[in-house]
Structures are given as structure tokens and as C-alpha cells.
Amino acid sequence: MNKILLGILQSTKFSMSLTSIYYSLTIFITILFFSACQNEQTESAEDNFYTVEDFKTVEKIDAHVHLNVANPIVIEQGIEDNVKMVTLNVASGRDPVAVQQEVALNLQNEYAGRLAYTSAFSLEGFNDSENWQQNTLDYLEQSFENGAIGVKVWKNIGMELRDENGDFVMIDDPQFDPIFQYLNDQNIPLFGHIGEPRNCWLPLEEMTVANDRDYFENNPQYHMYQHPEYPSYEEIIASRNAMLDKNQGLTFFGAHLGSMEWSLEMMSEHLDKYPNMILGMAHRIPHLQYLAQQDREALRDFFIKYQDRFLYSTDLQLYDSSDPEDVRQLAADTWRSDWEFFVTDNTLEVWQVEGSFQGLKLPKEVVDKLYHENARTRIPNLGL
């Protein structure tokens, strides 16, 4: 700007005509005006986005954690970081669902408004059709009276549970029909971890992210590449879809991106076909970061298009075998790292993904939906 003034003064040499002075001042004022407008537009555009520094000021809901011990350390970290949580009971064989529910209820009562929980149902006695169905309905009804906001089903349906003939029981098995019909009628959402990432059916060296390689190397019983006699990826997805076709009014939260984390096209097709399907990101954000490496703009456009259909979630786990301080630190680091991925366009690196990738820098309205608005809109009686 000083150079502009100097040029004006030099050109006039303080003896120019009034007309020359007028035109010079007009040019100068015009430059000032457009410069101010440009700065204002830049500031206005930046106002549409959060920054790393906004992390603690924005309400966040981590819609998929597992707090299976009474230690409140993760909840207290959540208070510090402005994160509320939904802890999911799971019929996984680790702890009885009734024990998980007791822990969740105690934490929920102690930290009112900070924690919600989903129930789950035991598969013990599944082949005793009539008694199992009634016992399950009775248990779930009691859970909802206690304050459960949904029901979780796990990958053991389709990958472990077998019927009296030794065949794998899939999620569309008629034995589940009255359970899902009840949820449908009562407007209670179903959280479903059905299947696994497609990497599960690949050899370790072909898997796209390191966390999958680590998990399946340490849990070969779930590495379907080693078990071709088990249901295929396609069969498990087809059974999930058949269940949804039978229960079209049921709100279904597809945990872990609905086991469709590898393909934006596949997720798009399912979200278009099933208007009551919402996808949680738990333990699959590295897959999104891998996709960002391949085509960041396509992933960003995808989230903007389907901004009403996703829940932020992490799959943080606190069990008896966990070191509580390690889990607390993991929670703090994960929440901040994920925030930077979604709200900035920084060049980032994480251990799960080989190489760097760029953050998505989603608009504020999209971030707000992912982090809290969708959960509150889609989960009745959430209370968070």
C-alpha cells in the first residue's frame, strides 16, 4: 500500500491538476475497498470451518465405546475434552450381558447426562426357540425400563453361532424375527456389528490398514481368509440386507461403517436403498484415511452428501484386562487426532495407514452432524 501512495505522489509531483488528484484518489480508494472486501470474504469463508483449537469448545458424542468396568477414567477424560459417550453391551462371551448392563447403569447414574448405553441379548439357549425368544424379549423390556437406548448384535451371528444342525446362524434367521419386530414396533434402534472389514477375507499382506493386520494376526479365529468353510463376506452382507428388508421401519446403526468400509460406492448404494441405515465409524476411521489417500475429494464429497447418515465413534474399550491410564491416554489422543482429520486440511500421518494423507476440512454444519446432531436426531431418548 505504501508503494501505491508513493507512486501516486511521484506521478503528481505535488503540482498535478485537481483532475489528476481526483482520479488518483479514486483509484486509491477503489483499491482499498476491494482489498477490504477480499479480506472480509476470506475471513467469512474461514468462519465456515472449525480449527484444531476449537476441539474442546464443540460438543462431541462418541457413539460406540465399551466401558465394561466401573472405573470412570474414560468418562472423566470425556468431561475434560467435551465428549459424551454411548457404551455398547455385547454378547461376545467376554462378560455376561447382565454384568455389562450393571456396570453401564452404575456409571450412567453416577455421570448423568454423560453416558448412555445399549443393551444386548444372550445367545445361550438359542436353539430352544420358544423359551429363548420369550426370555430375550423379557430381558430387553427390562433393559429399556432401566434406560437402555438400543440393542447391539455382534459378529458371532454369522461367524460363530450354529443351529442344532451345525449350520451357521445368520442375522436374517426367523428365530430373530420377533425380536427385531419388537424393536421396530417400539422405535428402538438396532446397533449391528455384522461381518468384518473386507480385509478379513484377504491374506495379511494384502490388507489395507495396519490395525486390521494386527487384529487378525492375533485373532486367527476371525481371519476368514484362513476359514474358507465359513460364510463369505457376500453371504454375511446379504443376510444383513435380508433382515433389513424384513424390517424396513427399523432404525439400523451399521457399526464399523456397516462392514462396507472399503467402498464409497457400496456405502452409497446401501444408504440410498435403506433410509433408516446410519453408519458408525468405530475402529474404521483409518479405513477412511486410507480412502483419503486414494481420492480425498471423492471422500469429502461423500461425507457432505450423506452428512445426515453418520455417527462419530471410536470403539474405545475398557475391560478388566486393560490398563486404565493407557485407555484414558488413547481416548485423549484418538479424539484429538480424529478431530484434526475431519476439520482441517492438514497433511497427517497415523500408524495404521502407510504414508500421509490430507484432512477433509468438512464444513461446520457437517462436523456438527457427525459429532452430535445425528446421534440426538436418530437415537430416541438418548439423554446426552
Q: Supply the pLDDT for residue 94.
A: 83
Q: Supply the pLDDT for residue 276.
A: 98
Mean per-residue pLDDT over the chain, rounded = 91
pTM of the model: 0.88
The neighbouring-strand residues paired with 318 are 67
Q: Supply the pLDDT for residue 46.
A: 75
Q: Supply the pLDDT for residue 15.
A: 41
Name the 3-class secondary structure at 125. Answer: coil
Using an 8 Å Cβ cutoff, are 161 and 126 in contact?
yes
Question: Measured between alpha carbons, how far is 277 from 96 in angstroms, rounded to an integer?
Answer: 28
Domain-wise residue ranges, the chain: 2-45, 52-378
Task: State pLDDT tens for residues 355-364.
Answer: 999 999 999 9
Q: Supply the pLDDT for residue 12.
A: 42
DSSP state letter for 224: G
Q: Is 41 exposed, middle or buried (0-12, 13-18, 19+ CB in 10 A)?
A: exposed
Q: Kindly report the number of other CB atoms within 10 A of residue 212's CB atom.
A: 24
Q: Supply the pLDDT for residue 23.
A: 55
DSSP state letter for 168: B
Using an 8 Å Cβ cutoff, are 234 and 170 in contact?
no
- Is beta strand 190-192 parallel, antiparallel or unpaired with respect to 151-153? parallel
Q: If we measure between CA atoms, which residue out of 71, 140, 61, 138 comes closest to residue 104?
A: 71
Give the C-alpha distances (Å, rounded to integers) separating 180 from 59, 88, 140, 150, 372.
32, 18, 11, 11, 26
CATH number of the structural domain 52-378: 3.20.20.140
**Stretches in the chain below the pLDDT threshold 70:** 1-45
